[in-house]
Amino acid sequence: MSKAFTREENDGPDIPDLPPLISTLAPGAKNYITPAGAEKLRDELRQLVEITRPSLASSSDDPDAKRQLMRLDQRIMQLEESLQSSEIIAPPDGLADSVKFGASVTVRESDGNEATYRIVGVDEMDLDRGWVSWQSPIAKALLNGKRGQRIRFKFPSGEETLEILDIRYE
């Protein structure tokens, strides 16, 4: 065997390949994003490329730093792909009379409790804040709904009737 294909003792540990990132978008689906969401992704990309990566690259002899750099490069690539494929959707002009992409929708559940969902792009989802993807079942049920309208929705816990109380756009 050629010396080129043998491992030297001082090469250090192998750095495993990272699994490829899988998009949550269905094949052929549009990558809608709000203007604020696109700006947030641009800011994160700028921070990673201009500040974080250069400082990590300077210590690239360390195996842990190499792994971190690989993860960072993967995140940078993911951000670039998301921004390149995204279609920024501005909020509608005028009175918010129906639920569209980017809306914050307040609903009343059957038990009287209120919940607010904001319909955003897949790259902006934040369930802790009530931000749901436009592809999620709850968003699909709410889209095109009007203030005062009641819709039936099947939660994992059971079917509910939701009344749309308020529609806002940021």
- Of 89, 122, 138, the one marking the end of a domain is 89
d(CA 110, CA 156): 15
- The residue that leads in pLDDT, 103 or 56, is 103
3-state secondary structure 129-158: HCEEECCCHHHHHHCCCECCCEEEEEECCE
Query: How many domains does one find in the chain?
Result: 2
Closest CA to 31 of 100, 93, 85: 85
> Is there a domain that residue 68 lies in?
yes
Asked, for residue 50, whether it belongs to a domain, the answer is yes
Is residue 128 situated within a structural domain? yes
Query: If you average pLDDT over every residue of the chain, what do you get?
Result: 85
The parent domain of residue 40 ranges over 32-89
Highest mean pLDDT of the ranges 21-25, 26-30, 65-69, 127-131: 127-131
Identify whether residues 108 and 69 lie together within a single domain: no
Q: Give the pLDDT score at 15.
A: 46
Q: How confident is the model at residue 7 (pLDDT cuts 50, 70, 90)?
A: very low
CATH of the domain at 148: 3.10.50.30
Domain membership flag for residue 95? no
Token duo for residue 167: 């529609």
pTM of the prediction?
A: 0.77
Instruction: Tell me the pLDDT tens digit for each residue of 14-34.
Output: 444 555 555 667 777 789 999
Of the candidates 56, 85, 59, 84, the residue with the CA atom closest to the CA atom of residue 72: 56
**pLDDT grade, residue 96 (50/70/90)?**
confident
